């Protein structure tokens, strides 16, 4: 998937990242007021990047929903590894990262790792709990 990115002030690209099942797709659909990305209790339901655009106060936003990120050492499945790499590549390209934290589980070590990922890549990071 080729993702053209722009950092001009009236075009903002952002992605929602987080652990599996933290509610990323629910937030994505909610922001877009549409049911674009499948939502459900199944752990690791989102297996592709979902992308959409919307305009707010004359600003064009591109938003991505992403597959959940688990700790690397826990992943054996090659497809999941590939999905993880795609999300990390996307984090490199967007302007803003929304890190979604599941308030039911409280903040976990993996949430800190993901915060570190976004901040290390010098992304403007929004923590959404
Ligand atoms: N109670 C409650 N449930 C929520 C909330 N957000 C999401 N859920 C539920 O949590 C489950 C997982 O939501 P998803 O949006 O599919 O989570 P996800 O992070 O996209 O999951 P993956 O794609 O598997 O990584 C679904 O059953 C949602 O209905 C919330 O704010 N409150
Ligand atoms: Mg999802």
With 0-12 / 13-18 / 19 or more C-beta atoms within 10 angstroms meaning exposed / middle / buried, residue 46 is buried
Model confidence over 51-62: pLDDT tens digits?
999 988 888 999
Q: Which atom of ligand 1 is nearest to the CA of 100?
A: 19
- For the chain, the average pLDDT equals 90
Q: Where are the domains of the chain?
A: 11-128
Residue 121 pLDDT = 87
Verify whether ligand 1 is closer than 6 Å to residue 17 (CB atom): no
Instruction: Kindly give the parts of the chain with pLDDT less than 50.
Output: none
Q: What is the pTM of this model?
A: 0.91
Question: Ligand 2 is a single-atom ion; what residues have CB below 5 A from it?
Answer: 24-25, 46
Largest CA distance in the chain: 44
Strands of the sheet containing 96-100, edge to edge, are 50-56, 59-65, 11-18, 96-100, 124-128
Q: What is the DSSP letter of 33?
A: T
For 11-128, CATH number out of 3.40.50.300, 3.10.450.50, 3.30.70.660, 3.10.20.30 equals 3.40.50.300
Verify whether ligand 1 is closer than 6 Å to residue 128 (CB atom): no
20 token code pair: 């599996």
Residues 52, 54, 55: CA angle, nearest 5 degrees:
160
């Amino acid at each position: 998937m080729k993702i053209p990115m722009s950092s001009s002030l009236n075009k903002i690209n952002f992605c929602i990242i987080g652990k599996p099942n933290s509610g990323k797709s629910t937030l994505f659909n909610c922001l877009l007021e549409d049911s674009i990305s499948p939502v459900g209790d199944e752990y690791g339901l989102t297996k592709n990047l979902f992308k959409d655009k919307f305009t707010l106060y004359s600003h064009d936003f591109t938003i991505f929903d992403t597959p959940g990120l688990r700790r690397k050492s826990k992943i054996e499945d090659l497809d999941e590894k590939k999905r993880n790499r795609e999300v990390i590549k996307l984090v490199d390209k967007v302007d803003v990262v929304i890190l979604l934290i599941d308030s039911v589980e409280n903040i976990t070590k993996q949430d800190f790792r993901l915060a570190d990922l976004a901040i290390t890549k010098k992304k403007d990071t929004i923590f959404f709990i």
